[in-house]
Chain A
Amino acid sequence: MGKDAWAPLVEVTRAYQFSAAHRMHNPRFSPADNARIYGRCNNPNGHGHTYRLEVTIRGRVSRQTGQVEGGPTLDAVVRAQVIQRFDRMNLDPLITSADGPTSTAEALAALIWRILDGALVAGQLCHLRLEETPSNFFELDRDDLNRPSRPAITTPADRGQKVIPA
């Protein structure tokens, strides 16, 4: 099937929703600094969001199936690895220090990238978009992660900045 030797390169995206709770809080900051920096997101009892996630893979279209390798299994991988893990959960204990100091959407996006990059066909994940609310969304490309100058996660004190008390 298919006489043409040229296989087009396409990107395939699937979109999901999951609901989870979190509280933004960095134990390295004082309670007053946490309250000042994170504001309402530092509410001691937490709060939650219906997150929306788009996962994009890139690959050549197979002449045998008309599909991208990994495309047909993408949905099962995301559901098993991401949706099952985070839906109706408290995110705070699931975020690791490698991803960020607290459960920001930036940290969650980094964690989801790490999980999916390990579970999908190697190198195929090309883009993630995580919407915390319809008006706040966060995007990662493979190129972002390949930048060697990705800064280490620090606190304002680590950066030598004076932490102004509230």
Chain B
Amino acid sequence: MIRLTKRVEFCAAHSYANPAWSAEENQRVFGRCSNVHGHNYILEVTIQGEPSPETGMVMDLKVLKDVIVEAVVERFDHKHLNLDLPYFKEKIPTPENLAVVIWELLEPRLPGRQELRLYRIRLYEDGSFYVDYYGERAANG
């Protein structure tokens, strides 16, 4: 068993607000994050699996990159996460929630081979802050 990781980048804007709260309460809880601002996100997608005896690869990194670009980068790059996308109408676009959305977008698009699975989503909001998500299975295990 080995893990391989593909890293990509996308840039997006967001702001934090819980619509159930007053403007003052949102400002108190979220501070400057309640202003519209943006990040250069770095996404690391890690796949765990057994290398194929024929190719020596768990998964072709070019295929993995194409899946990530199609499912994530093209969807989120240079977008406003709150306004341009359906995922954050009910959720605040924190990196915690964005990592879970990315997992849910990627997992069904990966090759459905038994010897391979999505292991981790690591999402950097900047160089000093990142979130890891290991999927529902890990959360309930």
Residues in A lying within 8 Å of B, measured CB to CB = 1-3, 6, 8-16, 56, 61, 63-68, 71-72
CA distance A85 to B109 in the complex (A): 47
Within 8 Å by CB of B131, from A11, A15, A16, lies: A11
Count how many chain B residues have C-beta atoms less than 8 Å from C-beta atoms of the other chain.
26
* Known A8-B136, A9-B138, A15-B127: A1·B20 in contact at CB below 8 Å: yes
CA distance A66 to B132 in the complex (A): 14
Give B83-124 as 1s and 0s: 1 = Cβ < 8 Å from A's Cβ atoms: 000000011111011011000000000000000000000000
Shortest A65–chain B CB gap in Å is 6
CA distance A63 to B90 in the complex (A): 9
Residues in B lying within 8 Å of A, measured CB to CB = 16, 18-20, 29-30, 90-94, 96-97, 99-100, 127-134, 136, 138-139
Closest 7 CB pairs of A and B: A66-B92, A9-B139, A66-B94, A11-B132, A15-B128, A61-B96, A8-B100
What 14 new A-B contacts, CB under 8 Å, besides A8-B100, A66-B16?
Answer: A1-B90, A1-B91, A2-B90, A3-B90, A8-B136, A9-B138, A10-B99, A12-B129, A14-B129, A15-B128, A56-B132, A61-B94, A71-B96, A72-B29
- In this complex, the member of B19, B93, B99 whose beta carbon has the largest number of chain A beta carbons within 10 angstroms is B99
| A16-B16 in contact (CB<8A) | no
Q: List 15 A-B contacts (CB under 8 A).
A: A1-B20, A3-B90, A6-B136, A9-B138, A10-B96, A10-B100, A10-B131, A12-B129, A12-B131, A16-B128, A64-B18, A65-B94, A66-B93, A67-B96, A68-B96
| B91-A66 in contact (CB<8A) | yes
* Known A1-B18, A1-B90, A66-B91: A10·B133 in contact at CB below 8 Å: yes
* Known A1-B91, A2-B91: A8·B128 in contact at CB below 8 Å: no
| A8-B139 in contact (CB<8A) | yes
CA distance A18 to B128 in the complex (A): 13
Shortest B122–chain A CB gap in Å is 9
CA distance A161 to B52 in the complex (A): 48
CA distance A64 to B96 in the complex (A): 13
List the A side residues contacting B16 at CB < 8 Å: 65-66
| A10-B20 in contact (CB<8A) | no
* Known A1-B20, A2-B90, A66-B16: A61·B100 in contact at CB below 8 Å: yes
CA distance A27 to B91 in the complex (A): 57
List the A side residues contacting B93 at CB < 8 Å: 66
CA distance A109 to B107 in the complex (A): 36
